[in-house]
A and B are shown apart, each in its own frame.
Chain A
Amino acid sequence: MISRFLLSNMDRRGYVFLALVAAIGLLVPLANLLVPAGSPFHVSTATMSLWGKYLCYALLALSLDLVWGYCGILSLGHGAFFALGGYAMGMYLMRQIGSRGVYGNPVLPDFMVFLNWQELPWYWWGFSSFPFAMLMVLAVPGLLAFVFGWFAFRSRVTGVYLSIITQALTYALLLAFFRNDMGFGGNNGLTDFKDILGFSVQAQTTRAALFAMTCVMLASGFLIARGIVSSKLGKVVIAIRDAESRTRFLGYRVDRFKLFVFTVSACMAGVAGALYVPQVGIINPGEFAPANSIETVIWVAVGGRGTLVGAALGAVVVNWAKTMFTSGFMAPYWLFALGVLFVFVTLFMPKGILGTAQGWWEKRRKPAALPAAEPAPAE
Chain B
Amino acid sequence: MNAPVPGALTSSLLYLDGVSVSFDGFKAIRGLSLTIAPGEMRAIIGPNGAGKTTMMDIITGKTRPDEGTVMFGGSVDLTRLDEAAIANLGIGRKFQKPTVFDFHTIEDNILLALKSQRTVLKTLFWQTASAQQKRIDDILGIVKLADKRERLAGSLSHGQKQWLEIGMLLAQDPKLLLVDEPAAGMTDGETAQTAVLLKEIARDHSVIVVEHDMGFIRELGVKVTVLHEGSVLAEGPLDQVSANERVVEVYLGR
Contacts and interface: CB of A to CB of B under 8 A. Distances in A.
Contacts of A379: 146
Interface in A200-236: 228, 231-233, 235-236
A250 B168 contact: yes
Contact of A375 (B113, B118, B125, B150): B150
A243 B84 contact: no
A256 B112 CA distance: 16
Interface string A243-258: 1011111111110110
A233 B126 contact: yes
A378 B151 CA distance: 13
A248 B60 CA distance: 10
A249 B83 contact: yes
Contacts of A251: 84, 87-88, 118, 172
Contact of A5 (B88, B125, B140): B125
B111 A235 contact: yes
Contact of B104 (A5, A233, A235, A378): A235
A248 B123 CA distance: 15
B60 A249 contact: yes
Interface in A292-310: none
B112 to A, nearest CB: 6
Interface string B143-157: 000111111000000
Contact of A378 (B99, B100, B147): B147
A378 B142 CA distance: 13
A257 B120 CA distance: 6
B93 A249 contact: yes
Nearest to B89: A251
A250 B120 contact: no
Contacts of A231: 123-126
Interface in A1-60: 1, 5
A236 B103 CA distance: 11
A259 to B, nearest CB: 8
Interface residues on A, range: 20 to 34
A62 interface: no
A104 B201 CA distance: 80
A153 interface: no
Contacts of B147: 375, 377-378
Contacts of B17: none
A232 B124 contact: yes
Interface in A344-379: 375, 377-379
Contacts of B168: 250
Contacts of B84: 248, 251-254
A246 B149 CA distance: 20
A256 B122 CA distance: 13
A250 B112 contact: yes
A238 B103 contact: yes
A239 interface: yes
A242 B83 contact: no
Nearest to A251: B87
Contacts of A233: 120, 123-124, 126
Given A235-B104, A239-B101, A378-B146, A256 B124 contact: no
A153 to B, nearest CB: 12
Given A232-B111, A375-B147, A375-B150, A260 B120 contact: yes
A238 B172 contact: no
A249 B87 contact: yes
B95 A246 contact: yes
Contacts of B125: 1, 5, 231
A77 B20 CA distance: 43
Contacts of A375: 147-148, 150-151
B102 A242 contact: yes
Given A250-B172, A260-B120, A232 B87 contact: no
B125 to A, nearest CB: 7
Interface string B108-151: 10011100001110011110000000000000110000111111
A-B pairs, top 7 by smallest CB distance, nearest first, are A251-B87, A232-B126, A378-B146, A378-B147, A233-B123, A233-B124, A251-B88
Given A233-B120, A235-B104, A243-B100, 8 more contacts: A238-B101, A238-B103, A242-B103, A246-B95, A246-B101, A249-B92, A251-B118, A378-B140
6 contacts: A5-B124, A5-B125, A232-B112, A238-B103, A246-B95, A252-B118
